[in-house]
Amino acid sequence: MIPIKNILFLLSGASSFIIFYMGLVNYITAIESSTGWILLVFATIVAAGTLLSTVYISKSITKPIEKLAENMTEFSKTNKITNKKPINTNIKEIYELNKNFESMGEKVEKTISVQQEYVEKLKQIDKKKVEFSSMVSHELKTPLVPILGYAQMLQKQELMGKLNKQQIDAVDEIYSSAVKLQRLVGDILTTQKLDLGKLDFNQENIHIAELLNSIIKEFNPIAIEKKINIINKITKDEIIFSDKDRINQIFSNLIKNAMDFVEPKKGEIIIGADNDKEFIKFFVKDNGIGISESNQKEIFKKFYQIDTSTSRKRNGSGLGLAICKGIADGLGGNIWVESKEDVGTAFYFKIPKQPIKVNSKK
Ligand SMILES: Nc1ncnc2c1ncn2[C@@H]1O[C@H](COP(=O)(O)OP(=O)(O)OP(=O)(O)O)[C@@H](O)[C@H]1O
Ligand SMILES: [Mg+2]
């Protein structure tokens, strides 16, 4: 970009030189020396006048325009008109331009500050809302402890007396509903902590082969009951430094989901881990109903559940995958899905092998 001042001086310099040069040529070639002198003096005065008027124009027009341009650049960077440099001009158009720019700037600055206030207020309200519901969920957890405890004591009939068949069914129902409620409250609390950036992580050495074996062990009884084959396909054992319980939580959510969407007897779930440079890439693959491309984009959002006949039969709140994503992100990794309808689904999540900076209780 060439500054307007340079163009002005270039033009006036060139024209002054041409005028003076023409005067000089006339002086040299004039038949009468007096006429030559007059023309030379005249040309010199005109050339000097051109240069002087350029200096004047530069001072009174280009300087304020330059300042105005600087003010505009500063305003576009900071959105603050108060930082402007004062512009003194007696040129009407520039004066009007500056005045309009200043009043427009003041309006924009005011609107932006009002908007920021609103955003700040909304953030505060949002935080209060999350804190309130977090408190409610916390309070809900407390009465669940005696409900579960007494239901378990009633189930063990030797402690509180014999129950008839109807009473046993009722107590079993109370117990399983309380367990579901406890899980839901736990999931809501975890999601809220994730939203507030308050979920804590503990990092420790993890033997991934051991971790996968313990997960398989945990899910084997239910897999046998549902006639689902659950396979461990770890390629190589490694030790990573991360949060064992949280990685376990991701696997649990993914395996529970997979179990719900595969067909009993034909169902197959493969879990495992691959080396991926400075990460370990864990996976849970199934040969279930699959997830359409449009739903793949949505399933990691809170409370999102796909409305299919299979889904409708399930319990659940649509928080499982949102929690998996929050944990994977919090541990410095990521999670994604690859799926084909009627073929199956594979969830992958990458976790760094080395320690990273996390929210920690310690
Ligand atoms: N392996 C899978 N195969 C097919 N669909 C799946 C699979 N995993 C998840 N989904 C779909 O993604 C939705 C969201 O899963 P998510 O785990 O977040 O919630 P949920 O299982 O319905 O409830 P929650 O986990 O909170 O009990 C599920 O409702 C289901 O429709
Ligand atoms: Mg789930």
Q: For residue 162, is it within any domain?
A: yes
DSSP string, 244-279: HHHHHHHHHHHHHHHHHHSPTTT-EEEEEEEEETTE
Closest Cα to atom 19, ligand 1: which residue?
318
DSSP string, 65-107: HHHHHHHHHHHHHH--GGGPPP-----HHHHHHHHHHHHHHHH
User: pLDDT (tens digit, 9 = 90+) per residue, 194-224?
Assistant: 888 888 899 999 999 999 999 999 999 999 9
Is residue 310 pLDDT above 70, yes or no? no
Degrees to nearest 5, angle at CA 347 with 343 and 350: 150
Distance CA 219, CA 127 (A): 37
**Ligand 1 atom closest to residue 322's alpha carbon, by position in its atom list:** 18
Q: How many domains does the chain have?
A: 3
In a shared domain, residues 220 and 251: yes
DSSP letter at 62? Answer: I
Q: For residue 176, is it within any domain?
A: yes
Mean pLDDT of 58-74: 88
In a shared domain, residues 213 and 347: yes
In a shared domain, residues 185 and 213: no
Is the distance from CB of 183 to CB of 256 less than 8 angstroms? no
Query: What pLDDT sits at residue 265?
Result: 87
In a shared domain, residues 47 and 70: yes
Is the distance from CB of 84 to CB of 111 less than 8 angstroms? no
Burial of residue 326 (number of CB atoms within 10 Å: 0-12, 13-18, 19+)? buried
Mean pLDDT of 104-133: 91
Q: Give the global pTM.
A: 0.69
Closest Cα to atom 12, ligand 1: which residue?
299
User: pLDDT (tens digit, 9 = 90+) per residue, 325-358?
Assistant: 999 999 999 999 999 999 999 999 999 999 888 7
What is the average pLDDT value for the chain, to the nearest integer?
90
Strand (E) or helix (H) holding 230: strand 229-232
Distance CA 19, CA 45 (A): 10
Q: Is 299 in the pocket of ligand 1 (CB under 6 A)?
A: yes
Domain extent for 270: 204-352
Q: For residue 138, is it within any domain?
A: yes
Q: Is 187 in the pocket of ligand 1 (CB under 6 A)?
A: yes
Q: For residue 135, is it within any domain?
A: yes
Confidence tier at 361 by pLDDT (50, 70, 90): low
Confidence tier at 178 by pLDDT (50, 70, 90): very high
- Indicate which CATH number applies to the domain containing 266: 3.30.565.10
Is residue 362 pLDDT above 60, yes or no? no
Confidence tier at 312 by pLDDT (50, 70, 90): low
In a shared domain, residues 189 and 214: no
Is residue 309 pLDDT above 80, yes or no? no
Q: Dihedral sign, CA of 310, 313, 314, 315?
A: positive
Mean pLDDT of 97-114: 93
Q: Is 300 in the pocket of ligand 1 (CB under 6 A)?
A: no
Query: What pLDDT sits at residue 348?
Result: 98
Degrees to nearest 5, angle at CA 255 with 280 and 171: 140
Q: Is 186 in the pocket of ligand 1 (CB under 6 A)?
A: no
Q: Is 258 in the pocket of ligand 1 (CB under 6 A)?
A: yes
User: pLDDT (tens digit, 9 = 90+) per residue, 250-307?
Assistant: 999 999 999 999 998 899 999 999 998 899 999 999 999 999 999 999 999 999 998 8
Distance CA 57, CA 337 (A): 67
